[in-house]
Every structure is written in C-alpha cells, then in structure tokens.
C-alpha cells in the first residue's frame, strides 16, 4: 500500500492564481472586442461535458503579457497572465505557476499565500492598461482596486506520488488540510475534518477539495473545472460588491430618517431621488442575479454542477444572496416610510392652509367692505 511521500519526494504541478475585480455596470462585449486583441472564450470540454454547457453570452479573453512574480520556495519567475471579461463587468485575472517542490515546501508556499497582497498588486498592474483601453465599452465604469476576490488552485496530475486514498487519511489528510487552510502550523483533528468535509471524485484517481481561499485538484485536462472555479470566485465578488453598495444605501437611509424625526414640518423635503436610486439599485441587483445565474448553465453536467455546488457552499453564495435581498427589502421599507411620512406632513399642511382660507373667508363675510 502506498504512503504519503517523505520530504525528499518532489511534487510537480501547477499553482493557478485567480484575482477577480468589478469594472462597473456592464461591458459591451462586441464593442470591447474591437478595442483590444480579444478572443471569444469558448468553454473547453471533455467527452463527458455536453455541448449545452456553455457561457451565455461567451466572455472575452485578453492576453495581458508576462507578469513577474516572486514566490517563496519557487523564487522569481515570469508567467503569462490573461483576463476574462464578462458582460456584467466582472473581470478575472488568471496566472499559472509551474512548480516542482517537496510536500513540505508546498505547504510553506501555501502559508505565504495567506497574505496575497503582492499577487493582487501584480494583477492590478497587469490589468490597468486593458481597463484604460476598454473604457469606451464599459457602462458606468467604477473599478475599485481595493475590492477584489482572490482564489488559488493547487493542481497535481493523477497517477503520481499522491492518490485520493492517501490524501484523505493521515498523514496526507493533515498535509492537505494545512494546504487548504493556508496554514503552515499543525491543525487539530476537528479542523482537518472540516477542511476536507467537501470533496468530489469522478474516478478513483482524481480528487477535488475546495475551501474558502484554496482548492486542491488532483486531475489533468481539467480546464472546464478551472473555469468553473474562476467563474464562481467572480460571482462571489459581484455579490460582495452589490452588498457593499447596499450597506452605503442603508447608512444614507438612516441619515434621512433622523432629520425627519426632529422636524415637525418637513413638507418641503422630497425623497424622490433616493427612492429612484433605490429602484435602480434593486433592478441592478436582480439583473446581477439573473446575469450571473444565466451566464453559465450547468444543467446536464452533473460533475461540473457538483463542483459549482461545493464552491457555492464554501463561498456561502446562498447566504450572500439572502443578505442582499433582505437589505433590499429593508431599504424599500425605510424609503416607503419616508415617502408616506412626507406625504402625511404635506397633507396636514394643506389641511391647515384650507382651514385658514375658510376662516379668512368667514372673517371677510363680516366685513364686506374690505373685499
């Protein structure tokens, strides 16, 4: 029976670095294709992947040239990078780093990835020229470089020193859990169990184990799996972006409420503008759900659907969507209260004016000569 390799056994594979950004409201893909050296990104497929599985509309992929990275254990390297641009203005930068490292060194590299700030900076630098050139095709451009979502995939080929059975039992399980948790130190058995709780195998020789920041992939010829991972990471970023904007809207709503409660006669105030902004944001949020949900249809491919499902559970996508819908409902209620109270105050003022006019008419009736 095979055992987990010792420290002298080298593992050869690929480290996939993915960094997602949001560029704005929408990217007009046909226009963008005329502005840069893009290719329509057709989903690569294995024999098991039906032709119905595809992107709608297909995103564009732009080469970004060579990027210089400096990684511990690997050293300074030059690697190619590309950007995948979707119509909902989500953009994912992917870089791929080959490595040949002992298992302990790969674990140390994962520990360094816990702070991906240098990698995010490299992705931004590589992406900035493309953003400038594509701005005419971006609707309401608003790239906030501080908002990003990074994800890493450690890919090893099957049939080597590691197998699913070796990786899912100690000491392989302890090593794999540390890799997924980006943790160089020892982990408790409870943490190991939680890190490896979600896993998937299509054959006895492959393995997919996702966590919040890293996924482990024991597989080859798996570009459609990597694209599913990249797309799900981008979807998480889009949910975070709309959630942040809703937080700002909630703060604005409460700032509107406080003056209203302190003033007894705010009939001149109008909240039509924030109400209109809320309506636009609600439409945008629903459109985001629709676009991200329809851009990549996985019906008919059980394996990719399960890959997406495992990632969605790790990323808590359903909870993010529920949070967004809940905040939209709260904002809708707040602004409706504001509009109702303003309308009530105005009605009361009009009633007072009518009463005063009637009283004035009555007074004038007693003094006809003053008409």
pLDDT (0 to 100) of residue 47: 62
pLDDT (0 to 100) of residue 17: 97
Closest residue by Cα to residue 162 from 206, 106, 198: 206
Query: Both tokens of residue 61?
Result: 């992929």
pLDDT (0 to 100) of residue 265: 45
pLDDT (0 to 100) of residue 348: 74
pLDDT (0 to 100) of residue 113: 95
Alpha carbons 214 and 17: distance in angstroms, whole number: 10
Alpha carbons 39 and 63: distance in angstroms, whole number: 9
Q: What is the mean pLDDT for each group of 10 consecutive residues in the chain (371 residues)?
A: 73 96 92 90 64 74 94 93 93 96 93 95 96 95 93 93 89 94 92 95 93 95 89 91 80 64 51 62 68 60 84 92 83 72 73 85 72 55
Task: Give pTM, 2 decimals.
Answer: 0.83
């Amino acid at each position: 029976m095979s055992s987990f390799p010792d420290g002298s056994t080298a593992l050869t594979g690929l480290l996939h670095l993915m960094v997602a950004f949001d560029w704005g409201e929408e990217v007009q893909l046909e226009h963008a294709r005329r502005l840069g050296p893009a290719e329509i990104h057709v989903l690569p497929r294995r024999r098991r992947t039906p032709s119905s599985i595809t992107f709608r509309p297909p995103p564009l992929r732009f080469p970004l040239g060579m990027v210089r990275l400096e990684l511990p254990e690997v050293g300074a390297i030059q690697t190619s990078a590309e950007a995948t641009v979707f119509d909902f203005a989500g953009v994912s930068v992917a870089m791929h780093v080959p490595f040949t490292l002992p298992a302990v060194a790969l674990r140390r590299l994962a520990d360094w990835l816990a702070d991906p700030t240098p990698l995010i900076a490299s992705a931004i630098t590589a992406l900035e020229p493309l953003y400038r050139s594509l701005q005419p095709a971006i609707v309401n451009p608003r790239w906030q470089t501080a908002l990003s979502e990074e994800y890493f995939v450690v890919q090893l080929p099957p049939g080597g020193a590691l197998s699913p059975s070796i990786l899912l039992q100690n000491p392989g399980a302890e090593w794999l859990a540390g890799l997924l948790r980006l943790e160089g130190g020892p982990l408790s058995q409870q943490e190991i169990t939680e890190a490896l709780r979600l896993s998937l195998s299509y054959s006895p020789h492959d393995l997919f184990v996702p966590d919040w920041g890293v996924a482990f992939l024991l597989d080859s010829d798996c570009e459609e799996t990597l694209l599913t991972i990249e797309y799900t990471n981008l979807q998480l970023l889009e949910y975070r972006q709309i959630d942040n904007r809703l937080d700002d809207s909630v703060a604005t709503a409460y700032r509107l409420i406080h003056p209203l409660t302190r003033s007894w006669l705010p009939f001149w105030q109008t909240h039509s503008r924030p109400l209109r902004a809320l309506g636009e944001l609600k439409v945008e949020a629903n459109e985001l759900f629709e676009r991200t949900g329809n851009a990549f249809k996985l019906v008919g491919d059980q394996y990719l659907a399960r890959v997406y499902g495992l990632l969605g559970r790790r990323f808590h996508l359903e909870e993010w969507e529920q949070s967004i819908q809940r905040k939209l409902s709260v904002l809708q209620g707040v602004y409706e209260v504001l509009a109702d109270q303003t309308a009530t105050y105005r009605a009361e003022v009009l009633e007072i004016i009518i009463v005063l006019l009637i009283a004035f008419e009555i007074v004038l009736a007693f003094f006809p000569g003053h008409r």
